[in-house]
């Protein structure tokens, strides 16, 4: 006898043939097998769970968001996996705003803050529940738990996250039925976007994005501890790379990338951005992520890499290292100039300072060195700085906010970020550099192809600042001594 409910499940599942083919189940489920798969599974519900360490922090963050949008329905999706090809996906990473407000990392999840009748909001995390075994979804669905692994139950998640959880499959109806003003983090969940179509405007969506970005400007203690850990893990990764440099050969940039990635996966979740493993003149290409070159003795290696922790906070650290362990005189000259600029930049990071101060302090020092090397002809360093002539070789800004995203808080308004004031709890990078392109005929030949950047992650404290990445040496002689020690 064929079981009707199972048949219905199969018909529904058949609508997505790819899923069925992938599972090798396409049209081949007998009623006996379907019935068999329903039974004989233990109850694995976990009881007595404690909330995650982040829970009190995420509750406070939600309260802050709630206070900014009284009376409005707030919707923050986590997003889902992006298709790589056919039925394969890129590794999933939830939206940073969803993680910030929940501490959760589930795909297809949505945080909803419903305005309460007496002010405030009621927060609910809408999540996929455990796969149903009665209707066969746990094995007939391509993303059933049998294939993707056990999920937390809604009860377990409510306990862990410290907020009510509900089935995300009921959310679209709830959103369609909702009345009143809505704010949506649009563009991450097509189903949610469709359910709220016409309910917000691009301008209102943008205001919401800006507010979420600005909420994250000042880090709380949980975030600072996690960023500290990210820096420590990244330092271990840099040490691994120094040890591996002895095996330099034709694929060394790949070897370096892979070596660092191994550490990132062991200590954390991933790398926080594509590692820049730039040897020789590749170091003058700021976004060098092809990493397909050699690292030869006599070259510099510019390694810009960061471990992303399991809570998804990332470090962003750069060291420029002599592949054979010793800077040449001209490499050292450029390195020392960048180091001096970084020292000036870091010294300018303190509460009450303008955000732009550290950039200007570092750029001035770089310009003075470039002037001293005669690169501006008859112009003084001041004149060159006024005209911005140093930018031919300094190229980029000197830093950015750091947190869940490597370029954190990117949607914050100019007035609160680049034209704003530093506050205790902000974390930013200070990363001056000098880059002499190998085809730059305006600099002495011996400078060409040299690129140096030094990048550290700086916490603004009540008194001034703390360098979270101080575990890695920066001064040239200390770098050489550190490399010699690691290579034994």
**Cα 381 to Cα 395: distance, rounded to the nearest angstrom:** 17
Residue 53 C-beta: closest distance to Mn ion, Å: 27
Residue with tokens 């550190």: 482
Q: Which residue's Cβ has the minimum distance to ligand GLY? A: 304
Q: Is 456 in the site for ligand GLY (CB under 6 A)?
A: no
Cβ proximity to ligand GLY: between 69 and 260 the closer is 260
Residue 273 C-beta: closest distance to Mn ion, Å: 7
**Cα 332 to Cα 212: distance, rounded to the nearest angstrom:** 43
Q: Is 261 in the site for ligand GLY (CB under 6 A)?
A: no
Q: Which of residues 302-341 bind ligand GLY (CB under 6 A)?
A: 304, 316
Residue 69 C-beta: closest distance to Mn ion, Å: 31
Residue with tokens 């003149």: 281
Residue 472 C-beta: closest distance to ligand GLY, Å: 15
Cβ proximity to ligand GLY: between 26 and 273 the closer is 273
The H or E element containing residue 124 is strand 121-127
Q: Are 111 and 125 in contact (CB under 8 A)?
A: yes
Residue 35 three-state SS: helix
Cβ proximity to Mn ion: between 137 and 304 the closer is 304
Number of residues that bind ligand GLY (CB under 6 A): 7
Residue 215 C-beta: closest distance to ligand GLY, Å: 21
Q: Which of 353, 406, 409, 459 binds ligand GLY (CB under 6 A)?
A: 406
Name the binder of 273 from ligand GLY, Mn ion, none, CB < 5-8 A by kind: ligand GLY
Q: Is 92 in the site for ligand GLY (CB under 6 A)?
A: no
Q: Which residues are CB-contacts of 102 (< 8 A; sequence separation ≥ 6)?
A: 58, 109, 111, 125, 161, 163
Residue 331 three-state SS: helix
Cβ proximity to ligand GLY: between 137 and 455 the closer is 455
Q: Are 259 and 244 in contact (CB under 8 A)?
A: yes
Cβ proximity to ligand GLY: between 244 and 406 the closer is 406
Cβ proximity to Mn ion: between 37 and 396 the closer is 396
**Cα 204 to Cα 195: distance, rounded to the nearest angstrom:** 17
Q: Are 346 and 456 in contact (CB under 8 A)?
A: yes
**Cα 347 to Cα 79: distance, rounded to the nearest angstrom:** 40
Q: Which of residues 127-146 bind ligand GLY (CB under 6 A)?
A: none
Name the binder of 152 from Mn ion, ligand GLY, none, CB < 5-8 A by kind: none
Q: Are 323 and 298 in contact (CB under 8 A)?
A: yes
Q: 222: closest CA among 351, 68, 103, 65? A: 103
Residue 244 three-state SS: helix
Cβ proximity to Mn ion: between 108 and 304 the closer is 304
Residue 231 C-beta: closest distance to Mn ion, Å: 12
**Cα 454 to Cα 391: distance, rounded to the nearest angstrom:** 17
Per-position x/- string for 407-436, each x denoting binding to ligand GLY as judged by CB under 6 A, each - no binding: ------------------------x-----
The H or E element containing residue 362 is helix 356-372
Cβ proximity to ligand GLY: between 183 and 474 the closer is 474
Binding site for Mn ion (CB under 5 A): 304, 316, 429, 455
Q: Is 278 in the site for ligand GLY (CB under 6 A)?
A: no
Residue with tokens 């004149």: 383
Cβ proximity to ligand GLY: between 57 and 273 the closer is 273
Residue 480 C-beta: closest distance to ligand GLY, Å: 24
Name the binder of 259 from Mn ion, ligand GLY, none, CB < 5-8 A by kind: none
Cβ proximity to Mn ion: between 195 and 301 the closer is 301
Q: Is 273 in the site for ligand GLY (CB under 6 A)?
A: yes
Tokens standing for residue 349: 């990071």
Residue 400 C-beta: closest distance to ligand GLY, Å: 6
Length of the chain: 488
Residue 365 C-beta: closest distance to Mn ion, Å: 18
Q: Which long-range contacts (CB under 8 A, 24 or more apart) does 363-366 make?
A: 363/390, 363/394, 363/398, 363/432, 365/337, 365/340, 365/341, 365/432, 366/337, 366/338, 366/341, 366/390, 366/393, 366/394, 366/432, 366/434
Q: Are 125 and 109 in contact (CB under 8 A)?
A: yes
- Give residues in contact with ligand GLY (CB under 6 A): 273, 304, 316, 400, 406, 431, 455
């Amino acid at each position: 006898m064929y079981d009707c409910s199972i048949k219905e499940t199969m018909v529904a599942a058949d609508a997505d043939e790819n899923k069925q083919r992938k599972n090798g189940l396409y049209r081949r489920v007998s009623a006996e097998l379907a019935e068999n798969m329903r039974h004989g599974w233990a109850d694995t519900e976990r009881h007595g769970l404690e909330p995650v360490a982040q829970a009190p922090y995420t509750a406070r963050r939600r309260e802050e968001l709630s206070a900014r949008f009284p009376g409005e329905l707030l919707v923050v999706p986590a997003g889902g996996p992006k298709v790589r090809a056919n039925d394969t996906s890129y590794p999933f990473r939830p939206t940073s705003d969803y993680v910030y407000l929940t501490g959760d990392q589930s795909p297809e999840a949505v945080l909803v803050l419903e305005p309460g009748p007496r002010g405030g909001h009621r927060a609910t995390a809408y999540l996929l529940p455990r796969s149903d075994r009665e209707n066969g979804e746990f094995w007939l669905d391509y993303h059933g738990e049998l294939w993707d692994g056990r999920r937390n139950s809604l009860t377990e998640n409510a306990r862990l996250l410290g907020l009510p959880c509900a089935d995300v499959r009921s959310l679209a109806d709830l959103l369609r039925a909702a009345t009143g003003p809505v704010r949506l983090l649009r563009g991450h969940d097509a189903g949610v976007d469709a359910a709220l179509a016409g309910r917000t405007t691009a301008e209102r969506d943008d205001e919401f994005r800006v507010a979420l970005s600005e909420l994250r400007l000042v880090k709380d203690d949980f975030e600072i501890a996690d960023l500290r850990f990210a820096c420590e893990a990244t330092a271990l990764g840099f040490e691994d790379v120094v040890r591996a440099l002895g095996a330099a050969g034709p694929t060394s940039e790949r070897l370096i990338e892979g070596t660092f990635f191994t550490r990132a996966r062991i200590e954390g979740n991933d790398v926080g951005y594509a590692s820049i493993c730039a040897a020789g003149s590749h170091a003058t290409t700021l976004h060098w992520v092809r990493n397909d070159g050699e690292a030869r003795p006599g070259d510099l290696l510019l390694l810009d890499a960061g471990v992303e922790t399991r809570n998804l906070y990332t470090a962003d650290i750069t060291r420029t290292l002599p592949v054979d362990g010793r800077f040449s005189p001209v490499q050292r000259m450029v390195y020392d100039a960048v180091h001096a600029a970084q020292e000036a930049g870091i010294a300018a990071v303190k509460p009450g300072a303008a955000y732009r101060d550290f950039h200007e302090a570092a750029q001035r020092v770089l310009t003075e060195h470039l002037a001293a090397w005669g690169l501006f002809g008859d112009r003084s360093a001041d004149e060159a700085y006024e005209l911005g002539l140093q930018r031919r070789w300094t190229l980029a800004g000197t830093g950015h906010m750091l947190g869940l995203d490597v370029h954190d808080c990117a949607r914050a308004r100019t007035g609160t970020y680049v034209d704003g004031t530093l506050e205790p709890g902000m974390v930013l990078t200070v990363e001056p550099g000098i880059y002499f392109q190998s085809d730059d005929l305006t600099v002495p030949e011996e400078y060409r192809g040299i690129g140096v950047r030094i990048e550290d992650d700086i916490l603004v404290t009540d008194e001034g600042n703390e360098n979270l990445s101080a575990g890695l040496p920066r001064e040239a002689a200390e770098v050489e001594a550190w490399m010699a020690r690691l290579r034994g």
